[in-house]
Amino acid sequence: MDSTDEQRRSVGDPYLKAVFDTVGEPLLILDGQLRVEAANRAFYRTFRLAADGVEGIRLFELPEGPAAIPELRGLLASVLEEDAAFEGYEIEYDSERLGHRILHLNARQLRRTESGSIHVLLALNDVTERVEAEREVRRQRQALARSNEELEQFAYVASHDLQEPLRMVSSYVQLLQRRYEGELDEDADEFIHYAVDGALRMKRLINDLLAYSRVGRSGDDFGSVDLEQVYADVVENLHLRIEEVGGRVQRGTLPVVHGSPSQLRHLFENLLQNALEHRGEAPPRIRVEAAPEGDGGWRMTVRDNGPGIPPEDRERVFEIFRRLKPAGEGSGSGIGLAICRKVVSRHGGRIWIESGPGEGAAFHFTLPRDRSSAEGART
């Protein structure tokens, strides 16, 4: 049997020919001299070759594609001589007509039973668009990460450097208020009051901005955290404010989670402060609870009896500098809940609000039980 007969028989069976041509991946069958015995439709389409100019031609003499892939010679020689199949071998090359291409190559040796002749089945999957799209996504993610890091660094440096001049302005304005209040006319007293109030609000804003930027700069202290201890520390820090507004804070049984103690203290403190500030006519009643989640984590809830949050604001309140009250009404800077969302995100969780008019608000957020579930949630 000559080589021409073998070429005709390579996929001569109509059933096998139909399967061969239906496969979407470019396929070649090569003989022992790496001549093309058969090529499927996907091969002709991918490499833009005419069907009558391929069969019987040596692979590396084809006008496009394989001839521009030097390492393919050694790979195919190993398949022929050593039966060393390979899969998922990625190569990149430049073609004058096709441009820059990226291929995933699979190959294995075929041996005919009746003649003992050796052949190669070669698949050349063109993954250029997919790989370049993945690379572009990675580039954009890296650029976004750099941008976020630079923004956090800018916020930290700007906030830190603003503190000293602001401290000087605040000190002298308060000195003016103490020394000259009542000695000037009413307009002067009012102007000084506005200046003192503005300086104090700016100080709170800068401190909160520093706290927000530090969430992204810290994180090496992750470990097991007892939330009951975190809760106790936060309530102790806020006890004067709780007493001032006649509030009461209670908790259920709180778990041990994997996280950052400092960041989780910020989270609970901001949520409790938010409930104390945005209260209704009745004294604030706040309860902190925990319930297991099906994915191995915990769902935490901080529930209050305040006026509630309208549906259209339940996502916006987590935006930085977003305030539901106009500036001057309440002491918030509009950063506290943004810090909460950033902390929860750093722990691989999510935070959301359930609320009804006049029914208070329930802030829910998820936290991981252990390190493995935390890493799984962040990926």
Q: Where in the chain is the domain with CATH 1.10.287?
A: 140-217
What's the CATH fold of domain 3-126? Answer: Beta-Lactamase (3.30.450)
| pLDDT tens-place string over residues 66-124 | 665 667 888 888 888 887 788 888 888 787 778 888 888 888 888 877 777 888 888 98
Tokens of 142: 């890296």
Quick one: DSSP state of residue 57? S
Radius of gyration (C-alpha) of the chain in whole angstroms: 35
* Stated pTM of the model: 0.55
List the alpha helices (DSSP H) in the chain: 3-9, 14-22, 41-47, 71-82, 128-180, 186-217, 227-237, 239-244, 261-277, 336-346, 371-378
Q: Where in the chain is the domain with CATH 3.30.565.10?
A: 219-379
pLDDT string in tens for the chain (379-residue length): 444 444 444 565 677 778 887 888 888 888 888 888 888 888 888 888 887 778 888 888 877 656 656 678 888 888 888 877 888 888 887 877 788 888 888 888 888 777 778 888 889 888 888 999 999 999 998 888 787 777 777 777 777 777 778 888 888 888 888 888 888 888 888 888 888 888 888 877 777 777 777 776 655 578 899 999 999 999 999 999 999 999 999 999 999 999 999 899 989 999 999 999 888 888 999 999 999 987 778 999 999 998 888 888 888 888 876 665 544 444 556 788 888 999 999 899 999 999 877 788 999 999 988 765 555 555 4
Under CATH, which number does the domain 219-379 receive?
A: 3.30.565.10
Contact predicate 105/75, CB 8 Å: yes
CA dist., res. 360 & res. 285, Å (int): 10
Question: What architecture is the 140-217 domain classified under in CATH?
Answer: Orthogonal Bundle (1.10)
CA dist., res. 341 & res. 270, Å (int): 11
Q: Where in the chain is the domain with CATH 3.30.450.20?
A: 3-126
